[in-house]
Amino acid sequence: MSHSLPLVTTIATALGLALVLGFLAVRLKLPTLVGYLLAGVLIGPFTPGFVADGELAGELAEIGVMLLMFGVGLHFSLDDLLAVRKIALPGALLQIAVATALGAGAAWAWGWGWGWGAALVFGLALSVASTVVLLRALEARGVLDSMNGRIAVGWLIVEDLAMVLVLVLLPPLAGWLGGTAPGGGHGNLWVTLGITLAEVGAFVVLMLVVGRRVFPKLLWYVARTGSRELFTLCVVAAAVSIAFGAATLFGVSFALGAFFAGMVMRESEFSHRAAEESLPLRDAFAVLFFVSVGMLFDPAILVEQPLRVLTVVAIIVLGKSVAAAALVIAFRYPLNTALTVSASLAQIGEFSFILAGLGVSLGLLPLAGQSLIVAGALISMAINPLVFAAVEPLQGWVRRRSALARRLERPVDPLAQLPMATKDRYLSGQVVLVGYGRVGRRIGAALEAQDIPYVVAEQNRETVERLRARGIAAVAGNAADPAVLIQAHCARASMLVVATPDTFDVRQMIAVARKLNPTIETVVRTHNEEAAGFLEREAAGKVFLGEEELARAMSRYVFERFGRSP
């Protein structure tokens, strides 16, 4: 039966074993990706027992890549990137350069006779972290919407975009990097690059000009039928057909085609529904992708090359992290931000596998290099929760033991204190507004309209620069740090309004504010009923629960329409 139905056998075995090992991974507080990769190892050709059909698994993995990249494009937010561009863009590019240099240097030092093209691909594969692992880690700790979380996500967006560019440029450059150019051609380098960029450009223009108009309308027409099945089919068919069409007509990779399919779908008002409806299928094929990657891993390398495996893990967990932390501190962000971003990047995942697979198919990366990358991914993902758990203790230890770290964390920073020319009305009796996001902006505008003086305390330095350019009093930093509230003149303020969605540090902010000013009135927001009750019991002042306030406002409008008194 297994020989007559290889597709069914491969899918059933891969999904069944991935379910079991993914469940065990979750029970052990590990990312499910670890379980999926181990499932692939067990049904791969390098371990005894059942061996799945590698060719079929590879084709299923291609669909997995398409849907993974479609999901990345669907969730790609230019606004999120622009909000942290001054740190995320240079930081991510410099960190990629450092990690690539470390990985390529290690490959050269091993003396395996790899060409510089193989070393480059190997280094690039070690430089990019997994978006899936990052988002789940930040969500588990409730810091996804915090400033640290937004910087980490913006950093990953830049990394993802850089890897998309690498996937586009690697095939035409393969011949000059020591691999096999697609079609076997070795023509003029600049002509080849020009043709490739022209094809990619034509595809991008077509998607941005035509796709942004056609596909959102198509979703709207299909949604009007009221058929959930047709809507899901439309989303998946668009993702796969655009990826296939991009590869066939423009010579663009499946990954890039699917990424732009997700980007144009995001323009639709049904983008959230599209993400929700396609999620089960994306998850299923993503699992098959990770299983297929695990099938390519030879566990013998752990025994035969343990020092090289440890070197790869050290580059991923220590090399990238130290480089990222140094860059974040150099941009005058606090130690907590530096350590959170570092922990977020201390792993590799899906893009590393896609890049490694492409490198092998182009004859650039040896299979041993791919096994080292998978080994590094397995180990780094397994220990990533421990790295995150070490952030708080490490932060306290560094601050206590290192005067240099304390000086680096608080250099002479013009944004960390109010300008000397700040008017007296902002220094006494004012409102201290913590956070200037979607809610904070509206509160600030309302205060301005009523001529109520306020000072903004915001972690995003770019936001503080924009506020000061508009003549609004603002200081940069985490309001849980006493120095920030001192600089905001909280000791003489009349009210503290915490408008950030991150409730992790709210208690500390309130404690600091009341220590500086025992009579200060505090107002906080939350979207969690349990957190709201907890904050009220802790005497946090007035607590606004998002859903409750929305229900009150809508009810008030209904009452007014019916002529009733609320």
Q: So what's the pLDDT on residue 168?
A: 80
Q: Closest Cα to residue 179, out of 363, 355, 368, 367? A: 363
Cα–Cα distance measured from residue 482 to residue 472, given in angstroms and rounded to the nearest whole number: 21
Same domain for 381 and 504, yes or no, is: no
CB atoms within 10 A of CB 479: 27
What is the SS3 assignment for 116?
helix
| pLDDT mean over 365-379 | 89
Question: Per-residue b/e over 511-545, b at no fewer than 16 CB within 10 Å?
Answer: ebbbebbeebebbbbbeeeebbebbeeeebbebbb
Same domain for 464 and 363, yes or no, is: no
For the chain, the helix, strand and coil percentages under 3-state DSSP, each to the nearest 5: 70, 5, 25
Beta-bridge mates of residue 544: 525
Judge residue 400's burial from the number of C-beta atoms within 10 Å of its C-beta, 0-12 exposed, 13-18 middle, 19 or more buried: exposed
Q: Return the sign of the alpha-carbon dihedral for residues 219, 225, 229, 230.
A: negative
Q: So what's the pLDDT on residue 2?
A: 46
Please report, for the domain that includes residue 505, its CATH number: 3.40.50.720
Domain assignment of residue 405, yes or no: no
Q: Closest Cα to residue 34, out of 133, 170, 135, 109? A: 133
Cα–Cα distance measured from residue 72 to residue 84, given in angstroms and rounded to the nearest whole number: 18
Domain assignment of residue 34, yes or no: yes
Same domain for 121 and 166, yes or no, is: yes
pLDDT in tens, 249-258: 887 777 778 8
Beta-bridge mates of residue 523: 497, 542
Claim: this prediction has a pTM higher than 0.85: no
Query: Given pLDDT bands bounded at 50, 70 and 90, which one contains residue 183?
Result: low
Domain boundary among 348, 363, 396: 396
Domain assignment of residue 150, yes or no: yes
CB atoms within 10 A of CB 66: 28
506 and 522 Cβ atoms separated by less than 8 Å? no
| pLDDT mean over 15-26 | 93
Q: So what's the pLDDT on residue 543?
A: 87
DSSP H helices in 141-227: 147-173, 189-206, 212-224
pLDDT in tens, 118-174: 999 999 999 998 877 787 777 667 676 677 877 887 888 788 778 878 888 888 888
Same domain for 391 and 425, yes or no, is: no
Q: So what's the pLDDT on residue 315?
A: 95
pLDDT above 60 for 185: no
Domain assignment of residue 407, yes or no: no
Q: So what's the pLDDT on residue 235?
A: 85
Domain assignment of residue 566, yes or no: no
Same domain for 148 and 281, yes or no, is: yes
With both helix axes pointing from N to C terminus, report the angle between 320-330 and 335-345 in degrees, rounded to the nearest 10: 150
Q: Could you identify the residue written with the tokens 């085609």?
A: 257
Q: So what's the pLDDT on residue 473?
A: 93
Per the structure, the complete domain to which residue 314 belongs is given by: 6-396
Report which residue type is found at 56: L
Judge residue 161's burial from the number of C-beta atoms within 10 Å of its C-beta, 0-12 exposed, 13-18 middle, 19 or more buried: middle
C-alpha dihedral over 110, 115, 117, 120, to 10 degrees?
Answer: 10
C-alpha dihedral over 189, 194, 197, 203, to 10 degrees?
Answer: -130
Average pLDDT, the chain: 83
Q: Closest Cα to residue 188, out of 205, 176, 202, 204? A: 176
CB atoms within 10 A of CB 424: 9
110 and 142 Cβ atoms separated by less than 8 Å? no
CB atoms within 10 A of CB 437: 18
Q: So what's the pLDDT on residue 187?
A: 55
pLDDT above 80 for 22: yes
Domain boundary among 368, 396, 424: 396
Q: So what's the pLDDT on residue 349?
A: 77
Residues near 91 by beta carbon (within 8 Å), at least 6 away in sequence: 155, 158, 324, 327, 328, 331, 341
Query: Given pLDDT bands bounded at 50, 70 and 90, which one contains residue 520?
Result: very high
185 against 374, higher pLDDT? 374
pLDDT above 50 for 1: no
The CA–CA distances, whole Å, from 536 to 524, 539, 548 equal 10, 5, 15
Same domain for 418 and 392, yes or no, is: no
Domain assignment of residue 404, yes or no: no
Q: So what's the pLDDT on residue 440?
A: 92
Cα–Cα distance measured from residue 387 to residue 32, given in angstroms and rounded to the nearest whole number: 17
Please report, for the domain that includes residue 367, its CATH number: 1.20.1530.20
pLDDT in tens, 451-470: 999 999 998 888 898 899 99
- The token pair that represents 557 in the structure block: 């409008």
pLDDT above 90 for 501: no
The CA–CA distances, whole Å, from 389 to 34, 220, 381, 383, 401 equal 18, 44, 14, 10, 20
With both helix axes pointing from N to C terminus, report the angle between 367-389 and 116-127 in degrees, rounded to the nearest 10: 20
| pLDDT mean over 162-187 | 74
Q: So what's the pLDDT on residue 113?
A: 74
Same domain for 267 and 152, yes or no, is: yes
Question: Per-residue b/e over 198-237, b at no fewer than 16 CB within 10 Å?
Answer: ebbeebbeebeeebbeebbebbeebbeeeeeeebbebbbe
Cα–Cα distance measured from residue 212 to residue 111, given in angstroms and rounded to the nearest whole number: 49
| pLDDT mean over 13-18 | 93
Same domain for 378 and 418, yes or no, is: no
Helix (DSSP H) and strand (DSSP E) numbers for the chain: 27, 6
Same domain for 147 and 82, yes or no, is: yes
Same domain for 382 and 428, yes or no, is: no
Cα-flanking dihedrals φ and ψ of residue 542, to 5°? -85, 125
Domain boundary among 396, 422, 456: 396
pLDDT in tens, 297-345: 888 888 988 999 999 999 999 999 999 988 988 887 878 888 888 998 8
Same domain for 384 and 431, yes or no, is: no
**Number of domain units in the chain:** 2
Region of poorest pLDDT, from 228-232, 429-433, 513-517: 228-232
- The token pair that represents 287 in the structure block: 């699992």
Q: So what's the pLDDT on residue 78?
A: 67
Q: What percent of the chain has pLDDT over 90?
A: 22
DSSP H helices in 28-84: 32-42, 54-74, 78-83
Same domain for 88 and 122, yes or no, is: yes
C-alpha dihedral over 154, 158, 164, 170, to 10 degrees?
Answer: -150
What is the SS3 assignment for 521?
strand
